[in-house]
Structure 1
Amino acid sequence: MTDAWDVLERFYAAEADYLAAGGPGKADFAGMAAHLGPDVVMYQAPSLPYGGAWRGHDGMERFMAAMSEAWTGLTFLEQHRAVDGETVAVLNRCVFRARATGRELETSVQQWITVRDGLVREFRPFYLDTAAVLDALGVGGAAAAAGAAGAVTG
């Protein structure tokens, strides 16, 4: 049995390589996809502009593009983890930088991640304060709901 944290660390390294190579539209997503199950799902809070369920490798690649449209940067300040079999809970304290407003937001995001058969199968992030995320992005109320409703999550 592969250790779930080892799988996740390899995914995080591939994600960092993908972003360093230019990210969506510029880098090859195959390196990240190699660490994701074909049925992977990324669940994001519906109130966020990139909210919804993003399914499969194609969905994850489109999610990365949606995140890159919203944020120009993400810096991890600290990370704590707990592993229980196939489940990893990760608490990240991080700083996001919004593309539209240039604002920075220091916040925490908890991720509940499922790993099975050596591949990441599911991400469930929980933001400390989605209202602060929307404020940093310059998105509010009805606009946020419209953005979330328009997300393509196939």
Structure 2
Amino acid sequence: MTETTIETTLDSYYKALQSGKESDLREIVAPDILVQYHDATGLLPWGGTWQGFDAFRTFLSHVAEHLVIENVEPLERLIAEDSVVVVLRGRWLAKATGRRIEAVVSNIFTIREGRVAGYQVFPDSAAFAMALDRLAVVEAGT
């Protein structure tokens, strides 16, 4: 798979996410997509493994229920055969608490036949859990 094909696929994926239209998502996401959101704390409502398009939509709805994506800036893309690692800096707002999360996150995409077939996220789980009020913040010196 060429680098251009992979970049086009990722660009289409991000546009489909922004549109939120089911038809756009179905065009760019494989029916058997595997989402793995690696939540080291086990406290995030969208953490875990999600298999298939319906589960992918449920995953997205859980994220949207709890977070507003304010800004995402790709820092680096590493492409190897059918996989892409995207390192990004983002800012999110936790709806329930009004707290902001600023973190660097790594995503690994697997591309198959021009569609996203795998999506792994390696977040700053503690930062997200603290913003959601699911993990206590310990101040230095206490």
TM-score interval, smaller chain: 0.7 to 0.9
> Which amino acid is 2:22 matched to?
F
Distance 1:71 1:29 in 2: 20
Q: Which residue of 1 aligns with 2:126?
A: 131
2:25 to 32, 38, 43: 32
Larger radius of gyration: 2
> Secondary structure at 1:64's aligned position in 2?
helix
Distance 1:44 1:36 in 2: 16
Distance 1:137 1:117 in 2: 37
| TM-score of the pair, normalised by structure 1 | 0.79
The alignment-based identity, stated in percent, is: 28
> Secondary structure at 1:91's aligned position in 2?
strand
Distance 2:115 2:63 in 1: 22
Q: How does 1:70-109 map to 2 (within 5 A)?
A: 70-109=66-105
User: 1:56 offset after TM fit, Å?
Assistant: 1.1
Distance 1:74 1:86 in 2: 29
Contact kept? 2:74, 2:86, Cα under 8 Å: no
Alignment CA distance shift 1:43-1:17 (3 Å)? same
Is the aligned partner of 1:54 residue 2:50? yes
Unaligned runs of 5+ in 1: 19-27, 142-154
Q: Which residue of 1 aligns with 2:38?
A: 45
Unaligned runs of 5+ in 2: 137-142
Aligned length: 131
User: 1:124 offset after TM fit, Å?
Assistant: 0.7
Q: Deviations over 1:7-57 (max 9, x none)?
A: 111111111122xxxxxxxxx322112101111011112412211111111
Deviating runs (4+, > 2 A) in structure 1? none
User: 1:134 offset after TM fit, Å?
Assistant: 0.1
| TM-score of the pair, normalised by structure 2 | 0.85
User: 1:74 offset after TM fit, Å?
Assistant: 3.5
